[in-house]
A and B are shown apart, each in its own frame.
Chain A
Amino acid sequence: MITTPITSDAFRETVQQLVDEYRKQHASNPMAPAPVVPSLGPAFTTLHPSDAVPSMIALVSPWADVASPDPLIAHVSQQVVTLEVAYAAFCGLSTVILPPLFRKGHTPTSSAVAIYSDMVSRTLGIGPYLQIVVPFPMDNQKLATEEVPPALQAEDEIDSPGRKTDIDDALTPWDSWNHVRVTCDYAAKLAVGRSHNSHSFHDRSPVGTAY
């Protein structure tokens, strides 16, 4: 089996542009509605239904951070995830790996975990035959450089409104996983993708081989 991204770099660039433009507009027009991501087209994806599909695992764009402290990034990321999962389901892929909750540097806050869980539970409803794999590190060790997922350009480091005194130890990733699966009612289609001490993502064309 082999992993495949669902969208291309062009899509990411388009989304990044959308975000940047909105930021410029927002400065002068605070009432402007948040941007809406365009639906996928041939420029944005090379994935299509084919005989190769049964041996593929779809990788939802790892730069889609639905629990980002930057509300704009979170907003577009939600749309990106929904679009991509729906398209992967349409193409007939059976397994989809969602973007990670645990990203570079910080441990997600409890509200981030809740937002992420909500996203996961929605993706379960998108494709009736789709298995959803949620990546988690085994513990709270720092990620190696190759494992840090890419991210959309956020506006300055927004301080996440979290309680600094929440426990943050080796079991914290497990805690977050527990929250996700309880939110999804222990769904049979939901499973963990676990890295031994970190997770791995690449935003280029198929490089993962699963067997």
Chain B
Amino acid sequence: MTVPQLVLLTDVHQALVIPRLLPDDHLQSRWYSEPLRILFLPTSSFATNSNSHPVLSKAHQAMLTKYMRLQQAPWLLLSGPSELPQPNSDAVGSADPTPAEAAALPAQPYPQVARLAYLRYLQRTQPSLPPLARFAHGYQDFLQSPLQPLTDNLESITYEVFEKDPIKYAWYEQAVALALKDLYEELKRPIVVAVVGAGRGPLMTRSLMASSATEIPIVPYAVEKNQNAYVLLQRQNATNPLWAGNVQVVKTDMRTWIGPLDAEGNPAKVDILVSELLGSFADNELSPECLDGVQHHLDPSHGVSIPQSYTAWTSPISSPRIYADLFHRPADPDKWSLPYVTMLHQFSFLSHTEEILPPTSAGLISFSSSIQQCWEFLHPLPPSVIAQSALRKQGGAIAPGLCGGDGWNEHNSRSCNLVFPIKPNNRGVCHGLAAYFETVLYRSRDGSQVVELSTNPNTMDEKSKDMISWFPIFFPLKTPLLVPDNGEVRVDMHRKTDDRKVWYTWQVSTWVEIGGKWQRTAMSEVHCSAQNGCLM
């Protein structure tokens, strides 16, 4: 396929004849991830339109739009003959007019040089940013430590930022509505809905809205351990007409909640457990551990958890910007051993699949990035798993946990070994792993409808477009690895636990086929976040 942006006026023929081995979108993406200060635009970059004005091709324009959205946009350097506007020499009496002389001169704007004028025109007519880009503009590649809402209590402002998400809560409402319909059909009685980790109450509100929209009565519970948010939940109950004092607000860690009581004060079971305990890597805020701890209140035969499952995904990337940021921070033995939540922006995927994406508006083609699943968590767990966990907790005559402790949380440990192919002419350097998550909030019993959320770039637009609540997460490598053409990047990741905390380990190596056999040519150390593990 020809690539329009390679238009050198003298070389159009060459550009059309020689097919590119590497789709230019990948090459552009590689350079985009590099620190660019200046973009040269010599005369030969410009074509001439029918009015004899200099213009840039569509591909050029698309590239400029992309670059101008960087926090530190590069300078555009025009060169070639007669670029500087010259003052009209007749009108200027002396080179250095006095104020009186200057006042007498006719006001005249400098004639705009054609290419400069065109660039200014482009600047004025730039397309507006999509919602996520607008929201995240100040956060491009800004590294944040992941939240630990289990250990720390979140501030109200943090909750407020999350509640701005236009998509997430609407999706939760839809999921609750679907679950209510499925359960009511079977149970024909008010459905016990418990929102665990209720925060300031938005999920409770949405559950109540789902109940009124479907006209299915619910018995609502809101469970929250954050004693400050608990105050707001009580306020909601008192003042929000939808809550109307009907919500039972409980201040407790969900794992020690005594559970719902029926009208006679006897212990009852929860029909729908709603939670939003997900982090940028799905399970990194310890959703599995929390939900395991409350599962015993969920009805064993028909109990539903929203979300029903979540998966973590990853892909090796080149991000010189993040690497340089970390490298130049003061020496800290842990700075490489911690995943960072960050709006990945100036980076480039190293591995691609065989799937060709539709061409961009500029006519560039590319392959889809290879983002692979690390692991999955399902809720509720089978009762046998919970039973074995309880047995191990007693610490009897059975093997202890692999990483320490009795092993009662070991069913939540995970590992994966992923192979990422590198295409020909796509060699590069790997600075770390980009990671994302997906979740199925609810799949209707007949399988016809499913409500999902995703931050995985390959599926996010299809599943939950314009969702802003989660940025990607980045696992850094202390030493970047050179990744060769036609090679493979093999990633080894683990989620480990010792019953008291949870941490991740990651190791990356590059492999190359030499003489018909695959060989390891480089490997990173095993990075381990145990020092900054999530406390249970």
Contact = CB atoms under 8 A, between A and B. Distances in A.
Nearest to A132: B37
A147 B36 contact: no
Interface in A109-152: 131, 133, 135, 138-139, 141-142, 144-147
A194 B425 contact: no
B41 interface: yes
Contacts of B42: 144, 146-147, 195, 198, 200
Given A186-B324, A210-B78, A144 B37 contact: no
Interface in A185-202: 185-188, 190-202
A138 B31 contact: yes
B380 to A, nearest CB: 47
Contacts of B45: 196-197
Contact of A177 (B34, B43, B84, B425): B34
A155 interface: no
Contacts of B84: 2, 206-207, 209
B27 interface: yes
A146 B44 contact: yes
B60 interface: yes
B425 A210 contact: no
Of the candidates A57, A186, A196, the one having the most CB atoms from chain B within 10 angstroms of its own CB is A196
Nearest to B8: A144
Interface in A163-211: 167, 169-171, 174-175, 177-178, 181-182, 185-188, 190-202, 206-211
B14 A202 contact: no
B32 to A, nearest CB: 10
A123 B299 CA distance: 70
Nearest to B43: A146
A87 to B, nearest CB: 21
B532 to A, nearest CB: 24
Given A210-B75, A211-B75, A198 B8 contact: yes
Given A142-B14, A186-B323, A192-B37, A169 B425 contact: yes
Interface string B300-324: 0000000000000000000010011
Interface residues of B, number: 53
Nearest to A141: B6
Of the candidates B28, B35, B43, the one having the most CB atoms from chain A within 10 angstroms of its own CB is B35
Contact of A208 (B78, B119, B428, B429): B78
Given A171-B22, A196-B45, A208 B77 contact: yes
Interface string B60-93: 1001000000000011111111011000000000
Interface in A31-81: 57
Contacts of B35: 190-192
A138 B59 CA distance: 14
A199 B40 contact: yes
B10 interface: yes
Contacts of A4: none
Of the candidates B5, B9, B40, the one having the most CB atoms from chain A within 10 angstroms of its own CB is B40
Given A144-B44, A170-B20, A196-B45, A209 B78 contact: yes
B39 interface: yes
A53 B20 CA distance: 42
A1 B79 CA distance: 12
A197 B14 CA distance: 13
Contacts of A178: 429
A128 to B, nearest CB: 15
A142 B40 contact: no
A93 interface: no
A94 to B, nearest CB: 11
B21 to A, nearest CB: 7
Interface residues of A, number: 50
Contacts of B124: none
A197 B43 CA distance: 12
B44 A147 contact: yes
B44 A202 contact: no
Given A171-B27, A209-B116, A194 B324 contact: no
Contact of A95 (B20, B37, B76): B37
A97 interface: yes
B11 interface: yes
B83 A207 contact: yes
A3 interface: yes
A199 B42 CA distance: 8
B41 A196 contact: yes
B73 to A, nearest CB: 11
B244 interface: no
A191 B37 contact: yes
Nearest to B9: A144
Contacts of A207: 79-81, 83-84
A201 B327 CA distance: 33
B30 interface: yes
B517 interface: no
Contacts of A2: 84
Of the candidates A57, A170, A175, the one having the most CB atoms from chain B within 10 angstroms of its own CB is A170
26 contacts: A2-B84, A3-B77, A95-B37, A133-B38, A141-B11, A144-B8, A146-B42, A174-B428, A177-B34, A182-B480, A186-B327, A187-B324, A191-B36, A191-B38, A192-B37, A193-B37, A195-B39, A197-B6, A197-B8, A200-B40, A200-B80, A209-B83, A209-B113, A209-B116, A210-B38, A211-B119
Given A193-B77, A194-B36, 14 more contacts: A146-B43, A146-B44, A167-B485, A170-B425, A171-B30, A185-B327, A186-B323, A191-B35, A195-B40, A196-B60, A200-B40, A209-B113, A211-B76, A211-B119
Interface of B: 5-6, 8-11, 14, 20-22, 27-28, 30-31, 34-45, 60, 63, 74-81, 83-84, 113, 116, 119, 320, 323-324, 327-328, 425-429, 480, 485
